[in-house]
Amino acid sequence: MNSKQEDADTISEILLRAAREPEFRNQLIKQPSNVLEQYNISDEAKSIIKNSIIDLTQ
């Protein structure tokens, strides 16, 4: 299991990549579970990312 700091670093990495790369962002919006399963992060971290993406698209 990853530490909270590793999860936080990965969350930041994913959100920054989504901000920089429109194609990645669109995949994350349309199929978040498929994209996030590629990362070794906790379910809590995945939920944070999904909620962040939802917030950004409203």
Structure confidence at residue 26 (pLDDT) = 94
pLDDT digit string, tens, across residues 7-54: 999 999 999 999 899 999 999 999 999 999 999 999 999 999 999 887
Burial of 48 (0-12, 13-18, 19+ CB in 10 A): middle
Please state the pTM of the whole predicted model: 0.85
Structure confidence at residue 21 (pLDDT) = 95
Structure confidence at residue 53 (pLDDT) = 84
Q: How far apart are CA 12 and CA 2, in angstroms?
A: 15
Structure confidence at residue 1 (pLDDT) = 55
Structural domain of 42: 4-57
Domain total in the chain: 1
Q: Transcribe 19-33 into DSSP letters.
A: HH-HHHHHHHHH-HH
Given a cut of 80, whether residue 57 has pLDDT beyond it is: no
